Structure 1
Amino acid sequence: MDTPDWNDLRYFLAVTAAGSLSAAARSLGVEHTTVSRRIEALENMLGLRLFDRFARGWSLTDAGRALLPQAQRVEEEIHALLRQASGAGSDFGTVRISAPPAIAAHWITPRLPALRAQLTGIQIELGAEPARVDLSRREADIAIRFRRPQAPDLAVRIVATVQYYLCAAPQYLASRKSEEWEFIGYDESLATTPQQEWLNAFAAGRPFAFSSNDLNSIAAAVRFSAGIAVLPDYLAAGLIIPGINCPVQRDLWMVIHDDVRKSPRVRRTADLLAELFSTAAR
């Protein structure tokens, strides 16, 4: 029997996790016909039918379920090999940084010229992503996140502490009394963030005019006088409402997988990025 193509196993695992061809295609960033073709190639090579195809989705056959644990172990070993290779790599190449969209746009991007000036031979790839990336799968080399991960194979350090303020456009404040204020906040997907919980308590039943899962949209709405919001220090210039103390502070964490941290280029990039964060916070 021929050896399976690792990429075909990857498509098999993607369909298993997603439950449908179209969802797997979206997660892989390919056309659904590509997924179907790769699954068919794997089935032909193994001489087994791995999925039952239904209109509502694809379901593993008994043979597919039997092979799933082994395929997952192969995936883990492949990612471990790639992490080790990255850790043993040269001083030059690409370093992928993942950060929340507003941090990527307003904190990291303005400092890229300073970062690049000290990283000759290293290309920076910046992913603006609200969801956590999987560092064990090398979806990024360095992640910047507001929550500290608990996995034991991750190296973490605080690179900044973000202060939050209650904010409004000056013309908005001049046009109405405080009891007439309307608020702008996160939608339900981010309702448990500390800044949103504090804003809910401060609003004390006064209406919310607008909600979003995107901090950049919230900040733009404040600047265009749509209402009052809690904004981080890097978006609050010229908008801070005097006399109101918002106690919310959040630590910003840099996260790197232990294997990848051994890479000279990742280590150099992480140290310089942390230094830029620290300098900006002073």
Structure 2
Amino acid sequence: MPTDRSTDQTIDRPAERPSDRTARPAGTAGPATTAGPATTAGPATTAGPATTAGPVTTAGLAGAADLAGAVGLFAEESRARAFAAVVLGAATPAQVTERSGLSPRDANTALRRLWDQGVIADGGAGLAVAYDRFRELARSARASDPSEPSARSHGAGDERSEAVLRTFVRDRRLVRLPARWERKLVVLRYIAERTFEPGVEYPERTVNEKLRAWCEDAPVDHVTLRRYLVDLRHLHRSSGVYWRPAATAAA
């Protein structure tokens, strides 16, 4: 847990417990020791999140169900204000106290709680928001939400293809084309099967419109997508007319 260099004291100091004062005689190793209760209760100890797996602690947030717990952290005003101060660049407990308008004691309590729950961490230059933790929570929430497009089955028939499609296709939109060729084949076949009926002839303008809808949010254009489908023979072309062969559907 980073220290406030101006005072060389950890964020536990404002708690004003008698044991805190007696556990840190001059000349000792400071708050990182294991001699007193103040060093086992705070986030700077060997049992705390700073020395284990980072901001994710065994007592912290875990899984999609804990998204509500993360939101609940900020239901208490002092924690919200302390967190906002860190978001805006406060890197030490003293800076959090100054920018949040909290008393040192309230700032200390709020920071301890935020640290224990993994939403702030040591960013190298001081306190920082643990953005990776929020990304993890968002991914977990999406995966567990049946209404989320990425959580729905794509009807691929096997788990490996489903995993590829969940990553690269969202709500009938292409996120991006995979770099690995075998994954790209899965995605392109899926787009062909979901877009064109076998044996039906489509003018080029219609093909472009249908493929453009897949590419709205993707760093690839419909022309590139159409070329792939033709090269892989998911679409046949003649005189400006395209059709999906029945053999592709049965394969």
What interval of TM-score do these two structures reach, taking the shorter chain for normalisation?
A: under 0.3
TM-score by length of 1: 0.22
Higher RCO (CA-CA < 8 Å; seq separation 6+): 1
TM-score by length of 2: 0.24
Higher fraction of strand:
1
